[in-house]
Amino acid sequence: MNVLPYGRQSIDEQDIAAVVEVLRSDFLTQGPAVQRFEAAVTDWCGARHGLAVANGTAALHLAAQALGLGPGDWLWTSPITFVASANCARYCGAQVDFVDVDPGTINLCPRRLAEKLQAAEKEGRLPKVVVPVHFGGQSCAMDEIQALAQKYGFRLMEDASHALGGTYLGERVGNCRWSDVVTHSFHPVKIVTSGEGGMMTTNDAALHQRMATLRSHGITRDPAQMVGESEGGWYYQQVELGYNYRMTDIQAMLGASQMNKLERFVARRREIAALYDKVLAGLPVTPLMRDSRAESAWHLYMIRLDLTAIPHTRREVFDRLRAQGILVNVHYIPVHLQPDYARLGFTAGMFPEAERYYQECITLPMFPAMTDDDVQRVRESLFMAVQ
């Protein structure tokens, strides 16, 4: 059976030729392709600095650590995200808490955030870092969240893994207009891919330098950053404990080549989303609410099932679609319900909007190579699955 995955990469002959060129060159890693990819993403976003890393999870970890997150600190994020948005705090020895989502957009809710900050201030446990996640590619209400960051003095790290190519209030996601640092992912299901890969964009030169040092073992070759004098041309110093989170030139060249197609990819994703909106009208399902301030990059197209109007459970609808070769998915299992978070004291009932959404949601196939006929096929299969 011809299957439709929920997401997949689009690789063309130009991408393949670009990668082959790297394989024939002098550098497989620590060469020129990494800077080329960094420049492509940074220029697109309109940020000052960009730093490519091994994956989006490494980007979150380095950004959190460079913002000074450590033991005794709190990081807050959305419960409806991939686990990595929360795990980055724990890599730094900090603690995680969650802010419930807006029931329309399923993005971190600024009103809930304001309430939680007010309570936390009284208890003296304000967060050091908040991580809004642009769910499905639609930006969070960043102007409102930034105003709260200024009022309460926390740092902002946007998880834009879904949102490269999106905008908020007419400005491109990733330009750091609203935050200290924005993290990106280039996993194959994301908007553009480097196989595995991640990046941080920032306008803060000091933050950029700190992240660059942490990316490569905490080592510097810059005499200005050294303790004492350089001992010669071979000399380097480890000035803090870092990691090997570098991206290879093979990955970076694929990413750079993919960036040439970002605009086209996102335009096609928008067409597919508009077609879904049209053909799903009349079925007992609702797409997520649109925020008129944001243009989504449409990484994912989610629907909520009206389970009062459907004679099946979500699980049955999911299984019926999969049986038809429509490889739907569920984004996401609320992070606080994962066993490893339950161990930290989180329980069901703590974030009711997130939990309600999780009971009803299904992610439909969405990728640039999908045809209009594929969208019709998803519509027909969904129509049958909810009978």
Ligand X SMILES: *Cc1c(COP(=O)(O)O)cnc(C)c1O
Beta bridge partners of 287: 303
The one among 42, 57, 87, 363 contacting ligand X by CB under 6 A: 57
Is 132 one of the binding residues for ligand X (CB under 6 A)? no
Is 363 one of the binding residues for ligand X (CB under 6 A)? no
The one among 77, 185, 220, 258 contacting ligand X by CB under 6 A: 185
In whole angstroms, the minimum distance from the beta carbon of 238 to ligand X comes to 25
Determine contact, residues 25/209, Cβ cutoff 8 Å: no
The one among 65, 77, 139, 161 contacting ligand X by CB under 6 A: 161
Is 107 one of the binding residues for ligand X (CB under 6 A)? no
Closest residue to ligand X: CB criterion: 56
Give whichever of 60 and 310 is closer to ligand X, judged by the CB atom. Answer: 60
Give whichever of 74 and 332 is closer to ligand X, judged by the CB atom. Answer: 332
Give whichever of 186 and 381 is closer to ligand X, judged by the CB atom. Answer: 186
In whole angstroms, the minimum distance from the beta carbon of 19 to ligand X comes to 18
Give whichever of 253 and 280 is closer to ligand X, judged by the CB atom. Answer: 253
Is 179 one of the binding residues for ligand X (CB under 6 A)? no
Instruction: Determine the Cα–Cα distance for residues 354 and 349; give it in Å rounded to an integer.
Output: 9
In whole angstroms, the minimum distance from the beta carbon of 248 to ligand X comes to 14
In whole angstroms, the minimum distance from the beta carbon of 299 to ligand X comes to 8
The one among 50, 110, 198, 242 contacting ligand X by CB under 6 A: 198
Question: DSSP string of 143-186?
Answer: HHHHHHHHHHT-EEEEE-TTTTT-EETTEETTS-SSSSEEEEE-
CB burial class (10 A; 0-12, 13-18, 19+) of residue 112? middle
In whole angstroms, the minimum distance from the beta carbon of 322 to ligand X comes to 21
Question: DSSP string of 290-355?
Answer: PPTTEE---S-EEEEE-TTSSSS-HHHHHHHHHHTTB--B-----GGGSHHHHTTT--TTSSHHHH
Give whichever of 191 and 310 is closer to ligand X, judged by the CB atom. Answer: 191
Pick from 118, 129, 135: which is nearest to 78 by CA?
135
Part of the chain binding ligand X (CB under 6 A), chosen from 4-12, 20-28, 52-60, 232-240: 52-60
Instruction: Determine the Cα–Cα distance for residues 44 and 172; give it in Å rounded to an integer.
Output: 8
Is 50 one of the binding residues for ligand X (CB under 6 A)? no
Is 159 one of the binding residues for ligand X (CB under 6 A)? yes
In whole angstroms, the minimum distance from the beta carbon of 162 to ligand X comes to 6
Give whichever of 110 and 136 is closer to ligand X, judged by the CB atom. Answer: 136
Phi, psi at 126, each rounded to 5°: -70, 150
Give whichever of 341 and 386 is closer to ligand X, judged by the CB atom. Answer: 341
Give whichever of 42 and 85 is closer to ligand X, judged by the CB atom. Answer: 85
Strands 219-220 and 198-202: unpaired
Determine contact, residues 148/176, Cβ cutoff 8 Å: no
Question: What's the token pair of residue 331?
Answer: 């984004």
Q: 232 in the Ramachandran plot: left (φ > 0), alpha (ψ -120 to 50) or beta?
A: left
Which 81-100 residues touch ligand X, going by CB under 6 A? 81-82, 84-85
Determine contact, residues 76/127, Cβ cutoff 8 Å: yes
Instruction: Determine the Cα–Cα distance for residues 176 and 203; give it in Å rounded to an integer.
Output: 7
Give whichever of 85 and 138 is closer to ligand X, judged by the CB atom. Answer: 85
Total number of residues binding ligand X (CB under 6 A)?
Answer: 14
Catalog residues that contact ligand X under the rule CB under 6 A. Answer: 55-57, 81-82, 84-85, 133, 159, 161-162, 185, 187, 198
